[in-house]
Amino acid sequence: MGHGWEGVVLKLFRGKDFTFTVTGAEQVTEHFRRIHFTDGGMLAQTGVHPTMWVRIWFENAGKPHQRAYTLVDADPEAGTFSMEFALHEGRASDWARTAKPGDTVEATLQGTGFSTPDPAPSHLFVVGDPASLPAINSLLDAHPEIPATIWFETSHDSDAELPMRTDSALHEVRRVPRREDGAHLVSEVRSALPGLVGGRSDTYVWIACDTATTRALGAYVRKELAFPKDRVNALGYWRAA
């Protein structure tokens, strides 16, 4: 399968192509599925970093269609990793529902990157949802000693069962039901965050929700709370239909 004009652009920006092979799958909840892969030699070339993601290519009505997914439990020595899919309507979810050992997908690594803030933050403030859960877990795994407050937006009752790698002694999880196309989450974070930050300049805010919510909260943190750019990471993970 060709990758169309998007693939050409990614090549111009030095995107690297790989083929992943499915080795197994787990249905975590009715709306969340974890799929295991071999990496086609990728990790030996690139290494791994927190929140690392790749672009996966699917065919959609005869045209190339790509979506980005975070690596889970990547093992460079074994050449393996998993990816987790928040299931909804769409070509990527349709593929994930039926993926079985031996299936392959094409992938492009381009655009991913994460730099741990220096100095290390005294506290992490994280805002996400099931789509960004793999990245949230990766971030917590990379900084196991740093306390964190996590706002986690939920759309289904089963979202409470999702495997969040938290430590009750260090991490506070605030589950927020999705309402008003994300406006409820924005309101919850805006009302609580200033008091939690308490004027400290050594904290770090990481936001990954739908594009509109992420944009609203990123602007709020940078402009109204005056967080320096290097203490905020905001990336929209999906677009609301």
Using the predicted structure, report yes or no on whether residue 23 has a pLDDT greater than 90: yes
Rounded to whole angstroms, how far apart are CA atoms 228 and 62?
44
pTM exceeding the 0.85 threshold for the entire prediction: yes
Q: How many domains does the chain have?
A: 2
In a domain, residue 41? The reply is yes
| 28: CATH | 2.40.30.10
Q: Model confidence over 70-87: pLDDT tens digits?
A: 999 999 999 999 999 999
Q: Write the DSSP symbol of residue 156.
A: S
Most confident of 55-59, 60-64, 170-174: 170-174
How far lies 211's CA from each of 88, 89, 147, 240, 241, in Å? 17, 18, 26, 8, 11
Q: Model confidence over 149-199: pLDDT tens digits?
A: 999 999 999 999 999 999 999 999 999 999 999 999 999 999 999 999 987
The pLDDT of 34-62, averaged and rounded, is 92
The last residue of one of the domains, among 84, 109, 134, is 109
Q: Is the dihedral of CA 152, 154, 159, 160 positive or negative?
A: positive
Using the predicted structure, report yes or no on whether residue 3 has a pLDDT greater than 80: no
Confidence tier at 99 by pLDDT (50, 70, 90)? very high
How far lies 50's CA from each of 46, 47, 100, 142, 233, in Å? 13, 11, 27, 6, 13
Residue 137, pLDDT score: 96
Same domain, 177 and 208: yes
Same domain, 159 and 136: yes
Partners of residue 32 on adjacent β-strands: 29, 86
Which range, of 75-79, 132-136, 199-203, averages the lowest pLDDT? 199-203
How far lies 220's CA from each of 197, 198, 226, in Å? 14, 16, 8
Rounded to whole angstroms, how far apart are CA atoms 39 and 79?
5
